[in-house]
Amino acid sequence: MRRPRGIRVIAAATAALVPVTLGLTGCAATPDPGTVTVLNSATDAAEHDANQKFLDRCARPLGLKVEQISVPADTVASKALRMASSDSLTDILELDGSELPQFAETGGLRPLEEVGLDTAGFSDSATSLGSFEGTQYAVARSVNSLALLYNKDLLRAADVEPPTTWAELRAAAKKLTSGNTYGMAFSASPNADGVYQFLPFFWSGGGDEVRLDNGKGEAALTLWKELMGDGSVSKSVVNWNQQDVNDQFVAGRAAMMINGPWQVPVLSAQDKVDWAVATIPVPRAGQDAVAPIGGTVMAVPKSDDSGREKNAGKILTCLNSERNQLAWGESVNNVPTRASAAASYAEKHPELAPFVDLVATARSRTAKVGTRWPVVNDALAGAFQSVLTGRAGPEAALKNAQRQASAGEK
Amino acid sequence: MTTAVPPAGSLDPAPPSPSGSSSSSSTGVPGKNARPTLKKPRRDGHSLLRWLFVLPALLYMALFFGYPLVRNVVMSFQRYTPTTYFTGEAPFTGLDNWRAVFSNELFADSLWHTAVFTVGSLTGQFTIGLALAVFFSRRFRLSGAIRAVLLLPWLVPMVVSAVVWRRMLDQDHGILNTALQAVGLADGGVPWLSSPSVALLSAIMVNIWIGIPFNMVILYGGLQEIPRELYEAASLDGASPWRTFRSVTLPLLRPVITVVLVLGFMSTVKILDLILALTSGGPADSTQTLGTVTYQLSFLQLDFGQGAVVGNVLIVISAVFAVLYLRANRADFGTGK
């Protein structure tokens, strides 16, 4: 899940730097055989409690207890690595989908098939989010993506329909820009937030993360550059994370924005802006938008005790029953990954239906490049940042990005 | 400078140092006579006792400074990835990591940015801090209250300041641009954080703001130590304020100044949290420093080997300045007392 970042990043950085450089390891107490431990990022009290309720409901019939260890989203990976080095990794490990390949590659994760979890009936995009080199190592209970959110009142006042193509987007954004209000807002920050928002444009235009300079990615860069050149987008987007974009939208300073369903609680809690969701515009009418799929996945680290692995597998199976997935998806505003659960979700929440449609065709960031994703992520961020700030043209920027991305290839 | 060498020789096993005649003749004789008397008690176990007192500190240093340092150096020659944490295997790859880092354009850029950031921050922090310290060293009403307010940046967590500044520096709605526009100084708004050519300057500005209290407090303390009579004497001699500052304040403040500058240098050169919260290294990598590059390599790309290389470069830079600081301080002990 792409969640609001900001302060967390730094807290994470500081927290992560000290112990790792020291090479010290966490405490490795022998765990109670009746307890299944989970490492996740549910540091928010409400999210932690909601999660515990689902976990308890699954564990009780099995005579088990579940204990969550929650750390900030950006420290999950480094915490997990430290735990791994002292053989004290939890029974279930919940990671951001984009981090899974790094862990799967280590050989430290148990293929889900071996712990008795069947992923038949899951959407293809969700399956790809949890797999590495053809093996299913992790499962996503729910996933998210990005869509175009718009301010109904502002669009009505300007007599603009929600745009469906890039040309319409540009025209609409221009028309909606007036006074203190920009027509459009997105995050172009040089980190995961910005890259996540760039991908639907990059991919829909034919861009390819394996060959950044295949000649088709430039279109998306040009579009972003034009939107800024028209004055329809604030020059500050190079600093805005997804949270900032939402703040601008809620403050009425942006008529349309790219964002994800995790903003729904914030948007629903305010009554200043009447909003709605549409799919992300595509280059030409009739095309399908290719959006990135995001969310957390749950994996089972290898353990000396196969009983523990089996218990973890049983909990995962239960969490991913159709009923639990639907209820979980509703509680976090994400789309369930079982096709059948997703269908009932769309039925019950028509206002979020565009997300459901997107998720079915959405693409995993790591499906093609696997463990190289973090390098590609940085290269892409460099590309749109240098284009938006006028340091390079789209073509040169992507050539440079490709050089950067392949420099790390071994 | 050479006077500093003999004390180390007091642990020399051979009391009448054979080389002493040649080397210490140039540095002066007094130390030489004192040495044999220092040596004597060693046989009664005093020396052992002395070492016992030093031992905890040595162990502490070895564990918390020596070990990570050595590990970091070794790591920079290894292929150290997430797999290492699971399997414990970290194959040695020779200079691969070093080559990769040094051929990365970002590294050269970040080195340059770090230099500009450090020099800019230190200059600003120090001059403003010193000016304020001198200002407050005169007694006047409300001086205490104003000083307390000036300390605030120090009390606010770095990340919080950075986030607040990020809002204030927003090109469209930031308070700084709104104010500038109100007085007609900046028409389109200054792109504080959204232009690659201004962002580093803005980051320096924020860091100066954060660093002023530290400089002010330490320098203020130093100023209090200077005897009042000297100023009276200077004014009797008819020295101008500037002349007094240059001939009385500055020289007597010198030891404090070195402390402030070196400590400031150490904390500025490895800056990470401020920049991550302010710009995340952007726009277009214009605020990437050695600190953010280490973070990016180690914790985002999970290439701990390459991260260690940049870390080592930082350590070397810091070490050079630490040595300069120690030498400068020793010189002070030699001449100042």
Q: Which residue has the higher pLDDT, A11 or B265?
A: B265
* Predicted local confidence at residue B22, as pLDDT: 40
* Predicted local confidence at residue B139, as pLDDT: 76
* Tens-digit pLDDT profile for residues B109-138: 999 999 999 999 999 999 999 999 999 888
Q: What is the dihedral sign for C-alpha B311, B314, B319, B325? A: negative
Closest-CA residue in chain A for B307? A21
> A3-12, B160-169, B268-277: which has the minimum mean pLDDT?
A3-12
Tokens, residue A201:
């444009």
Tokens 């509703």 found at: A330
* Alpha-carbon distance values, A360 to A2, A317, A343, A352 (Å): 18, 21, 11, 13
In this complex, the residue of B171, B280, B300 whose CB is nearest that of residue A374 is B300
In this complex, the residue of B64, B103, B163 whose CB is nearest that of residue A7 is B163
In this complex, the residue of A13, A237, A238 whose CB is nearest that of residue B273 is A13
* Tens-digit pLDDT profile for residues B234-250: 999 999 989 999 999 99
* Predicted local confidence at residue B112, as pLDDT: 96
Interface mutation target, options A39, A236, A249, A402, chain B, most CBs of B under 10 Å: A236
Q: What pTM was computed for the model? A: 0.85
Does B30 have pLDDT greater than 50?
no
* Predicted local confidence at residue A408, as pLDDT: 57
* Tens-digit pLDDT profile for residues B290-303: 999 999 999 989 99
Question: Do A75 and A16 meet the contact criterion of CB atoms below 8 Å apart?
Answer: yes
- Non-local (6+) Cβ contacts of B204 within 8 A are B116, B117, B120, B121, B124
Q: What is the least distance, in Å, from the CA of A121 to any CA of chain B?
A: 32
Q: What is the dihedral sign for C-alpha B75, B80, B85, B88? A: negative
* Tens-digit pLDDT profile for residues B169-221: 998 888 999 889 888 887 778 899 999 999 999 999 999 999 999 999 999 99
Interface mutation target, options A181, A238, A240, chain B, most CBs of B under 10 Å: A238
Q: Does B283 touch chain A (CB under 8 A)?
A: yes
Highest average pLDDT, of B7-11, B27-31, B190-194, comes from B190-194
C-alpha angle A335-A340-A342 in degrees, rounded to nearest 5: 15
Closest-CA residue in chain B for A190? B282
pLDDT band at B28 (very low <50, low <70, confident <90, very high): very low
Q: Does A306 touch chain B (CB under 8 A)?
A: no
* Residues B277, A10: C-beta atoms closer than 8 Å: yes
DSSP string covering B217-253, please?
HHHHHHHHHS-HHHHHHHHHTT--HHHHIIIIIHHHH
On chain A, the residues whose CB falls within 8 A of the CB of B304 are 20
* Residues B171, A21: C-beta atoms closer than 8 Å: no
Question: Could you give the CA distance from residue A387 to residue A394 in angstroms, rounded to a whole number?
Answer: 6
pLDDT band at B43 (very low <50, low <70, confident <90, very high): low
Average pLDDT score over chain B: 84
Nearest Cα to A363, choosing from A257, A225, A206? A206
Q: Where are the alpha helices (DSSP H) in A270-321?
A: 306-319
3-class state of residue B216 by DSSP: helix
Torsion, Cα A299 A302 A305 A309, to 10 degrees, reads 20
Closest-CA residue in chain B for A5? B277
ipTM: 0.86
Does B39 have pLDDT greater than 60?
no
* Predicted local confidence at residue B329, as pLDDT: 72
Does B147 have pLDDT greater than 80?
yes
On chain B, the residues whose CB falls within 8 A of the CB of A85 are 84-86, 88
* Alpha-carbon distance values, A410 to A366, A401, A407 (Å): 17, 17, 8
Q: Does A13 touch chain B (CB under 8 A)?
A: yes
* Predicted local confidence at residue B119, as pLDDT: 96
Q: Mean pLDDT per segment of 10 residues, for chain A of length 410 residues?
A: 45 47 46 89 90 95 95 91 92 95 95 91 90 94 95 97 97 95 96 95 96 95 97 95 95 96 92 94 93 95 92 95 94 92 92 86 92 94 96 96 80
* Predicted local confidence at residue B185, as pLDDT: 80
Does B1 have pLDDT greater than 70?
no
Question: Do A42 and A296 meet the contact criterion of CB atoms below 8 Å apart?
Answer: no
Nearest Cα to A67, choosing from A34, A95, A96, A99? A34
